[in-house]
């Protein structure tokens, strides 16, 4: 990444009240409610954290830091949500941060005892950004229920790193930090599985892609934007207007980053 692009990517989280140090990688932490997201957050960041609110929202926001291999990270705990299709204020916050705050990686925490339901969120996030890591937490509970998970199979199906943890016991956290490091630094390339829709939807996406790519450039994933437009997602269009305009105005970006 060149210096200018890096400066912009450092400043974008500022739109959300998140102010990383210049050398810190920003990692968003997402997951359904009650999957142990806060436990993972606490285990990784310890006492190095503080809480506040998302700008303009009454939703809690916690951020904390940790280091791995001398690389500093800023971990941002997103509200627990079942989806990021933005039906609630929590979903809007989570989606907007992942889309427009452009974290260096997004860590999605899933509950090992109900993977099927939890994978929904992971697949949605993988439609927005390739820089994902899947953490399968509550592995101790899964073991108790005699649930076994084919981690390697899942990893190759999803195309992103999959790490098993039992965060309350501190199990798997080293591997988790390693995967976060690999994906954030770009040392590990991912190839997230993309959902395929009906042929009518896929054809419509193909028609929209050239124009959308021209408009959003590399700021957003054009396929994801096409799908949201086809969905008639007004909240997403409002956020594009809000955040993309800010991105294009260096003055405002500077103010937002303060
Ligand atoms: N057995 C077990 N319990 C866990 C684990 N991680 C979190 N928990 C518990 O699950 C509950 C919900 O955790 P929390 O971190 O608040 O979940 P969040 O809603 O996703 O932030 C708490 O009682 C945690 O102590 C784990 O790996 N194993
Ligand atoms: Mg929590």
For residues 96 and 191, what is the distance between their CA atoms, to the nearest angstrom?
22
**For ligand 1, atom 9: residue with the closest CA:** 36
Which range scores top for mean pLDDT: 8-17, 69-78, 228-237?
A: 69-78
Tell me which of 170 and 253 has the higher pLDDT: 170
Residues 98 and 81 in one domain: yes
Q: Are residues 249 and 188 in the same domain?
A: no
Tell whether the model's pLDDT for residue 32 goes beyond 80.
Answer: yes
Nearest CA to ligand 1 atom 24: 36
- Ligand 1, CB cutoff 6 Å, lining residues: 31, 33-39, 80, 137-138, 140-141, 166-168
Domain identity same for 28 and 75? yes
Longest C-alpha distance within the chain, in Å? 56
Shared domain check, 209 and 150: no
Centre of ligand 1 to C-alpha 39, Å, is 6
Tokens 């907007």 appear where? 96
- Using alpha carbons, list the distances in angstroms from residue 185 to 1, 113, 168, 219: 10, 31, 27, 19
Picking from 195, 225, 242, the residue at the C-terminal end of a domain is 195
Query: What values do phi and psi take at 164, rounded to 5?
Result: -90, 135
User: Helices 199-216 and 222-230: crossing angle, nearest 10°?
Assistant: 120
Shared domain for 120 and 203, answered yes or no, is no
pLDDT band at 255 (very low <50, low <70, confident <90, very high): very low
pLDDT at residue number 192: 97
- Res 250 pLDDT > 80: no
The span from the CA of 195 to the CA of 225, in Å, is 14
3-state secondary structure of 125: helix
The pTM for the full model equals 0.91
CATH code for the domain in which residue 96 is found: 3.40.50.300
- Beta carbons of 39 and 172 less than 8 angstroms apart: no
Are 140 and 224 contained in the same domain?
no
Last residue of a domain, one of 149, 170, 195: 195
Q: What is the pLDDT of residue 209?
A: 94
Minimum CA distance residue for ligand 1 atom 19: 34
Tell me which of 155, 171, 195 is where a domain ends. Answer: 195
What is the Å distance from ligand 2's center to 36 Cα?
7
Judged by its nearest atom, the ligand closest to the C-alpha of residue 34 is: 1
Q: How far is CA 226 from CA 23, 148, 210, 232, in A?
A: 33, 37, 10, 10
For residues 164 and 235, membership in a common domain is answered with no
Pair 23, 69 in one domain: yes
pLDDT in tens, 197-246: 999 999 999 999 999 888 888 888 999 999 999 998 888 888 888 887 64
Cβ burial 59-90 (10 Å sphere, 16+ → b, else e): eebbbbbbebeeeebbbbbbbbbbebbbeeeb
């Amino acid at each position: 990444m060149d210096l200018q692009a890096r400066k912009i990517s450092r400043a974008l989280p500022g739109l959300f009240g998140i102010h990383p140090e210049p050398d810190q990688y920003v990692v968003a932490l997402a997951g359904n409610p009650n999957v142990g997201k806060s436990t993972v957050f606490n285990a990784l960041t310890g006492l190095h954290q503080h809480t506040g609110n998302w700008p303009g929202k009454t939703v809690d926001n916690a951020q904390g830091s940790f280091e791995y291999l001398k690389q500093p990270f800023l971990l941002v705990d997103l509200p627990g949500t079942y989806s990021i299709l933005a039906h609630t204020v929590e979903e809007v916050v989570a989606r907007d941060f992942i889309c427009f705050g452009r974290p260096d990686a997004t860590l999605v925490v899933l509950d090992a005892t109900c993977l099927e339901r939890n994978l929904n969120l992971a697949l949605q996030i993988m439609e927005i950004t390739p820089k994902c890591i899947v953490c399968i937490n509550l592995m101790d509970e899964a073991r108790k229920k005699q649930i076994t998970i084919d981690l390697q199979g899942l990893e190759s199906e999803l195309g992103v790193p999959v790490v098993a943890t039992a965060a309350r016991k501190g199990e798997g956290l080293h591997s988790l930090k390693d995967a976060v490091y690999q994906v954030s630094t770009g040392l590990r390339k991912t190839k997230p599985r993309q959902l395929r829709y009906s042929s009518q939807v896929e054809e419509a996406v193909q028609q929209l892609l050239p124009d959308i790519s021209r408009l959003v450039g590399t700021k957003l994933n054009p396929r994801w934007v096409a799908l949201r437009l086809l969905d008639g997602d007004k909240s997403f269009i409002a956020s594009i207007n809000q955040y993309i305009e800010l991105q294009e105005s260096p003055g405002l970006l500077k103010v937002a980053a303060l």
